[in-house]
Structure 1
């Protein structure tokens, strides 16, 4: 990469994704021109110990040197590019440190120099000021409502405000635009014409962002730290009782189709992973998602031997005669292709609208499918799914008939904030309701039976009524029916 490409490395934002088409973005994207870093409008974070103005200058110098190296050495691997970049960082910091001493300024401490080196590395090869949050194993979710309004949810449920992630909102938007376009396999448009962004980040985190239609750029990053998780793990975390875990495990082993519902952030995806841990390791699984979140294909082969992971792709450009943008690949398209893969189970991820068609097709085509959707309570899940079907152009009668014939159980995940004794706010999550779904008294209605429900004001799930045929079918698969009925006496 050279200046002949028409790119001035110093004009790129302080945020710096790592590479495009195998080439390093020497200042956060040598493969694409970006706007200059704007002057600071938000006070820099003091706790980080980094002078962001100095960092921007050093980043520009490092970008020029790295661009020159790439011009003379040709194509390098990602590891080689990063090795060259880190050597340049050390040279720059040594030069800058000497200049400080010569000019009579106090030399940097080892801690200060280390913080600058890490921040420069993040600016050249990572996600800039966001990178420390991404690297922090205690961070579960990141919420951004403008460059200076940033909070994290820790894995223990505590909420905490953290340092700004950009000098101002303009820089934050510039970063999001570049981040959306840099993916080698699944680039996403993000602009005033398409102001919504949903994508995965390196490492599997999911990013959702909006700008231009919100007062300030808004971002939420979900970390999904619990990947290799079991129902027993959730029992130990207090999310369910052993009896509930035995019921859910038996559901999956008996190949019942399940929808996991809940509010945003209630732990639906984590619960789906735990449910999938009950699938026989030799079963071939297909996952179908708008953005990869389940990551079952990345788990050890002892957990899932064969997982085929598909991800939908949004279109771009003009809409064709079929009403779709060029290049669009839907979940239904992917599901159609998957019928040649000898799958034992087809798992359609999050259902927010039109995905309902793929979900129903997966449940009709095989047994033991799992999906998620957003709903305030379990009783409202069927109405929500029918609404999704109507939005997808299907009829009410089709939706009710298809769902009551193919969906067996709804599992509701809930969360709420509580205040600990030390005054800190903490978020707790648990399984709050489980319903069995079936046809109603008339042909276009449905019925539901509450198998488990939550004692009001607590996170304690207690038995309700279980249909006899479902109970008898699940007992051979490990359902603790005796424990279920015993718990009824204490509810």
Structure 2
């Protein structure tokens, strides 16, 4: 099934009037396509895609036709605008409309002396139109491919994909031009109340429930985007043991630490599996605990997992606000991580979790940890020993706290740092090398001399395997949960 966008329903009127041929995104009111003189509608239809037989995997590549049909369907849906209709109703109605508009296009083809589309091509057109309306267009097949975990875009026709554990490979273009790519990203950004235009050339957003995108345009020679696809969403620590991320004994230790409400930071390099491990830790929390998830850009998407996993879940995402300012000089409609953090103290929470720490989120994380309710977060760092300085650096850059205050927060409130890395391993039978995700270090922090942070390595590598080296001073807090597992 094609993933739904995080928002409720697409804005079909906006979609219908989006001109993907423009070199920049227009900010002026537009006339609906049905009322516009459009030379492309009167031109002879483009040549048909090569006949690939009746295979259901046929992909239709003439996007001028797909764009026309998409606009017609969007116009029809916008005109109907049935109150109370949900995403499933809209999708079913769109699917029925696509067929009639394909018939219209095919009539024009036959009048021009072109051949009739095959059934496989008609199915491929329908799929492409629905993906464009309800998914992410030409990106959607890449997002749906379970083997792809990284997508890098260096202009509309230079797309690299990385499959799990493999090198990058070239993929097909995802747009007709760089202007087309910018316009498409701008539309999807608007659907999430974000701006992506010459005045806002950087974009952070979710692509459905499993992917995160960063893009920049206009200030660089070509649009550039990086998409990280998380394939493991509903994952437990036992699942990660099976994937060889950690041994069973470490999973038992971390599970007990989560249930004992110890504050844990997951650290690691980019692409090492920090978010996946964070999901695994969160999924060990009692389903009836009330959780608030604070993120600058929604990435965890725990609401997708169902009530049996997290019955009392409050997912909160920062809102950038508009270009207009209020009397205090703040963007109208803006909701910051600090705003959400303050609000959570009126939510009767059991636990507040702050997702990825990249900058100002660190202040919200401090507030979460100060409650002693077992906060969980991720951070980029070169090692677990580097986590304290990384946190202090981010806190100092924010400018609202002193260095001494930041160090005190780390030493008094972060119980564990779990470091996950990409480890190069060699197959003894084939001799082939590959990169595999492993937990390589678990460290605890306590207040040290002269306001410094003292660290103790609890788990570390020995002969390539991670083993327990020392018990934390709060080990007695974990024993009731370890005894539960033993029983």
Q: Look up the match of 1:462.
A: 467
**Aligned to 2:15, which of 29, 41, 62?**
29
TM-aligned CA deviation for residue 464 of structure 1: 2.8
**Aligned partner of residue 449 in structure 2, secondary structure:** coil
Match status 1:63 vs 2:71: yes
**Aligned to 2:94, which of 61, 82, 85?**
85
Q: Look up the match of 1:137.
A: 146
The whole-number CA distance in structure 1 between the counterparts of 2:444 and 2:304 is 32
The whole-number CA distance in structure 2 between the counterparts of 1:298 and 1:271 is 17
Match status 1:215 vs 2:221: yes
Q: Look up the match of 2:445.
A: 437
Q: Residues 80 and 447 of structure 1: is their aligned pair in 2 closer, same or farther, counting only changes over 3 Å?
A: closer
Contact map agreement 1:158 1:426 (CA 8 A) in 2: no
| Superimposed CA distance per residue, residues 94-127 of structure 1 (whole angstroms, 9 cap, x where no aligned partner) | 4555665676655443333322332233234432
Equivalent positions of 1:25-174 (< 5 A) are: 25=12, 29-30=15-16, 33-36=18-21, 52-53=61-62, 55-61=63-69, 63-64=71-72, 67=75, 70-71=78-79, 73=80, 75=82, 77=85, 78-97=87-106, 105-155=114-164, 159-174=168-183
Q: Residues 323 and 425 of structure 1: is their aligned pair in 2 closer, same or farther, counting only changes over 3 Å?
A: farther
The whole-number CA distance in structure 2 between the counterparts of 1:109 and 1:363 is 60
Match status 1:389 vs 2:367: no
Q: Residues 105 and 271 of structure 1: is their aligned pair in 2 closer, same or farther, counting only changes over 3 Å?
A: same
**Aligned partner of residue 182 in structure 2, secondary structure:** helix
Q: Look up the match of 2:31.
A: none
Q: Residues 170 and 201 of structure 1: is their aligned pair in 2 closer, same or farther, counting only changes over 3 Å?
A: same
TM-aligned CA deviation for residue 80 of structure 1: 4.6
The whole-number CA distance in structure 1 between the counterparts of 2:483 and 2:171 is 45
Match status 1:407 vs 2:414: yes
Q: Look up the match of 2:458.
A: 451
**Aligned partner of residue 343 in structure 1, secondary structure:** coil
Contact map agreement 2:425 2:435 (CA 8 A) in 1: yes
**Aligned to 1:283, which of 266, 289, 308?**
289
Q: TM-score, normalised by structure 2?
A: 0.81
TM-aligned CA deviation for residue 178 of structure 1: 1.6
Q: Look up the match of 2:482.
A: 478
The whole-number CA distance in structure 1 between the counterparts of 2:11 and 2:455 is 55
Stretches of structure 2 that go unaligned for 5 or more consecutive residues are 24-39, 41-47
Q: Residues 142 and 423 of structure 1: is their aligned pair in 2 closer, same or farther, counting only changes over 3 Å?
A: farther
The whole-number CA distance in structure 1 between the counterparts of 2:74 and 2:293 is 40
Stretches of structure 1 that go unaligned for 5 or more consecutive residues are 1-16, 483-491
| Superimposed CA distance per residue, residues 221-280 of structure 1 (whole angstroms, 9 cap, x where no aligned partner) | 333332221111000000001111111112112211111111122111111111122222
**Aligned to 2:384, which of 364, 367, 378?**
378
Aligned length: 451
TM-aligned CA deviation for residue 407 of structure 1: 1.0
Q: TM-score, normalised by structure 1?
A: 0.81
The whole-number CA distance in structure 1 between the counterparts of 2:89 and 2:257 is 49
Q: Residues 69 and 33 of structure 1: is their aligned pair in 2 closer, same or farther, counting only changes over 3 Å?
A: closer
**Aligned partner of residue 315 in structure 1, secondary structure:** coil
The whole-number CA distance in structure 2 between the counterparts of 1:369 and 1:34 is 45
The whole-number CA distance in structure 2 between the counterparts of 1:85 and 1:302 is 32
Q: Residues 262 and 479 of structure 1: is their aligned pair in 2 closer, same or farther, counting only changes over 3 Å?
A: farther
Q: CA RMSD in A?
A: 3.5
| Superimposed CA distance per residue, residues 280-313 of structure 1 (whole angstroms, 9 cap, x where no aligned partner) | 2222211111122223333333332211221111
Match status 1:265 vs 2:251: no
TM-aligned CA deviation for residue 159 of structure 1: 4.4
**Aligned partner of residue 478 in structure 1, secondary structure:** helix
Q: Residues 81 and 481 of structure 1: is their aligned pair in 2 closer, same or farther, counting only changes over 3 Å?
A: closer
Contact map agreement 2:21 2:179 (CA 8 A) in 1: no
The whole-number CA distance in structure 2 between the counterparts of 1:168 and 1:60 is 17
TM-aligned CA deviation for residue 50 of structure 1: 5.0
Contact map agreement 1:23 1:75 (CA 8 A) in 2: no
Contact map agreement 1:263 1:375 (CA 8 A) in 2: yes
Contact map agreement 2:293 2:354 (CA 8 A) in 1: yes
Q: Residues 423 and 192 of structure 1: is their aligned pair in 2 closer, same or farther, counting only changes over 3 Å?
A: farther
Contact map agreement 1:243 1:480 (CA 8 A) in 2: no
Q: Residues 217 and 426 of structure 1: is their aligned pair in 2 closer, same or farther, counting only changes over 3 Å?
A: farther
| Superimposed CA distance per residue, residues 317-367 of structure 1 (whole angstroms, 9 cap, x where no aligned partner) | 255675643322111211111112221111111111111111111111232
The whole-number CA distance in structure 2 between the counterparts of 1:249 and 1:33 is 49
**Aligned partner of residue 294 in structure 1, secondary structure:** coil
**Aligned partner of residue 213 in structure 2, secondary structure:** strand
Contact map agreement 1:247 1:480 (CA 8 A) in 2: no
Equivalent positions of 1:334-349 (< 5 A) are: 334-349=340-355
The whole-number CA distance in structure 2 between the counterparts of 1:45 and 1:391 is 54
| Superimposed CA distance per residue, residues 412-469 of structure 1 (whole angstroms, 9 cap, x where no aligned partner) | 1112567889999965211111111111122x2111111122347x4x32333334x2
TM-aligned CA deviation for residue 33 of structure 1: 4.5
The whole-number CA distance in structure 1 between the counterparts of 2:426 and 2:160 is 17
